[in-house]
Amino acid sequence: MSTFPAFRAGLFAAAFTAAVPAFATPQQGSGVAWDIVEGLTTEIGPRMAGSEAEARARDWGSAKLKALGFQNVRVEEFKTLAWQRGPESAKLTAPYAQPLAITALGFSVPTPKGGLKAPLVYFPTLAALEAAPDGSLKGKVAFIDHAMRAAQDGSGYGPYGNVRRQGPSVASRKGAAGVVIRSAGTDSHRNPHTGVTVFAKDVQPIPAGAVSNPDADLIARTAARTAAGGKPMAIDLTLEGKPFPDAPSGNVVADLPGRDPSLPIIVIACHLDSWDLGTGAIDDASGCAIVTAAALAAQQGGQALRTIRVLWSGNEEMGIGGGGGAVYARMHGAEPHAVAMESDFGADKVWAAKFNTAAENKPMVDKVKAALWPMGIVPHEGETEGGADVAAIIKAQDLAVIDLGQDGMHYFDLHHTPDDTLDKVDPAALQQNVDAWTAVLKVIANEPGVIGKGQ
């Protein structure tokens, strides 16, 4: 459409006489949870594990938790293998010149100086790539497509996320000089999804990137022309990100002491680090906001019986088993825990609850279910997951787990993209999360008996 106003005179005649605000910010929430998400995304923003920004986020979190009245607030630093993004760009050079919206995957290695110029070979699925003969991709870049669909419980991320997690290793095993995947995401925006890939021990790491879904569509359409007798595809790829060892990271840990300090504690976790492309609003400032606000709200009827601890974990995104959750379990393995829970699936409404608790705890669980039901939260019998920040302590102490399942229909529209920003957080849904967590904590943190895991 034209940008030339004289030809759109009709548009200009409209009188807009609405009151002029001092600030045009469209959406505002309130309360502790909103304050944390708004503050962390505004005052810190992107906070990659191992970065200076993640260190600033720890200071920010520590100050915030103290100001909110938490006790024993401490930063527990550790070193980690991290990864740093570099300049990145890509374009199809044949059969059609088309710029591509690309981002490197975490633990990608850099392309050669001047970029990687190579034929691009299309695989509709990871299985199709696996079926290619070894060595058949020598000097080529593999493109791996897939057809991820949204699911309320996020379950599409398992199989389709494997394209990102395993695809680069498979491509390398076939001899590929590089690999590009369709983003593990469900949106249709020109914002590619990053995330770590894990190179298997027996393969050479190669440059690995993800293009946005519209770019992947373009590649698929072009590949169809190639397959129908058209010219082959070629790509010019620059991905300069690279791993770096011994980066500083750390957890922020804070307590709301219980009336009976001898009872095993409740730990509720989130992660403080984020990917660099967005400001980490849904992944996972929201999680930290939810658990922190709920821990405080659970004290409103009086101090809880058990200590509630919040863990704002460092380096969850690139931790691969050695992130903040594992460090926490090592450092706090001697302290008795009762239940571990995590919030790390965005800020949409909680709709399901899963329990891994002992048969003896049925009365407690029934109380939790009864408190959640009016909020539209249904019990579900599936296996609990815990999450990356609590998995190690759950395993170490064989803990009971309660999962509060958030609606994931839109989570993978935003996950690991530039679009993970504050405007995506619905204040009402965020508050529903806080209310659900508060309801759970009020029951379990006041449970005097032994809380055990299921058989």
Which residues 104-143 are close enough to bind a second copy by CB under 8 A?
A: 106, 122, 124-125, 127-128
Say if residues 340 and 401 touch (Cβ distance below 8 Å).
yes
Would you count residue 428 as binding a second copy (CB under 8 A)? no
- Residues 215-244, one symbol each (x = binds a second copy by CB under 8 A, - = not), give -xxx-xxxxxx-x-----------------
Dist. CA 316–CA 272, nearest whole Å: 8
Site for a second copy in 6-25 (CB under 8 A): 6-14, 16, 18, 20-25
Q: Considering beta carbons, is residue 97 or 359 the nearer one to a second copy?
A: 97
Which of 76, 255, 348, 419 binds a second copy (CB under 8 A)? It is: 419
- How do strand 88-94 and strand 98-100 relate by DSSP bridges? antiparallel
Would you count residue 422 as binding a second copy (CB under 8 A)? yes
Which of 69, 135, 321, 448 binds a second copy (CB under 8 A)? It is: 321
Q: Which two tokens stand for residue 159?
A: 């199989």
Would you count residue 146 as binding a second copy (CB under 8 A)? yes
Which of 372, 411, 441, 443 binds a second copy (CB under 8 A)? It is: 411
DSSP single-letter state for residue 112: P
Which of 185, 258, 314, 346 binds a second copy (CB under 8 A)? It is: 346
Q: Which two tokens stand for residue 427?
A: 């204040």
Phi then psi dihedrals of residue 382, to 5 deg: -60, 170
Phi then psi dihedrals of residue 106, to 5 deg: -60, 135
Shortest distance in whole angstroms from residue 77 CB to a second copy: 21
Strand partners, 142: 121, 179
Say if residues 156 and 412 touch (Cβ distance below 8 Å).
yes
- Give the interface segment with a second copy, choosing from 68-76, 132-140, 259-267, 320-328 (CB under 8 A): 320-328
Say if residues 270 and 291 touch (Cβ distance below 8 Å).
yes
Shortest distance in whole angstroms from residue 313 CB to a second copy: 10
Shortest distance in whole angstroms from residue 395 CB to a second copy: 10
- Burial class for 401, CB neighbours closer than 10 Å (0-12, 13-18, 19+): buried
Give 326-335's long-range contacts (Cβ < 8 A, gap of 24+): 326/392, 327/76, 327/78, 327/251, 328/76, 328/251, 328/253, 328/269, 328/389, 328/392, 328/393, 329/392, 329/393, 329/395, 329/396, 330/392, 331/76, 332/253, 332/393, 333/393, 333/396, 333/397, 335/265
Shortest distance in whole angstroms from residue 89 CB to a second copy: 11
Shortest distance in whole angstroms from residue 174 CB to a second copy: 18
Site for a second copy in 36-95 (CB under 8 A): 38, 41-46, 53
Site for a second copy in 256-315 (CB under 8 A): 278-279, 283-284
Residue type, 2: S
Shortest distance in whole angstroms from residue 317 CB to a second copy: 6
Which of 93, 98, 152, 299 binds a second copy (CB under 8 A)? It is: 98
Q: Considering beta carbons, is residue 87 or 333 the nearer one to a second copy?
A: 87
Shortest distance in whole angstroms from residue 297 CB to a second copy: 24
- Burial class for 393, CB neighbours closer than 10 Å (0-12, 13-18, 19+): buried
Which of 173, 174, 349, 424 binds a second copy (CB under 8 A)? It is: 424
Site for a second copy in 363-392 (CB under 8 A): 382-383, 385-389, 391
Would you count residue 185 as binding a second copy (CB under 8 A)? no
Dist. CA 270–CA 388, nearest whole Å: 9
Q: Considering beta carbons, is residue 145 or 447 the nearer one to a second copy?
A: 145
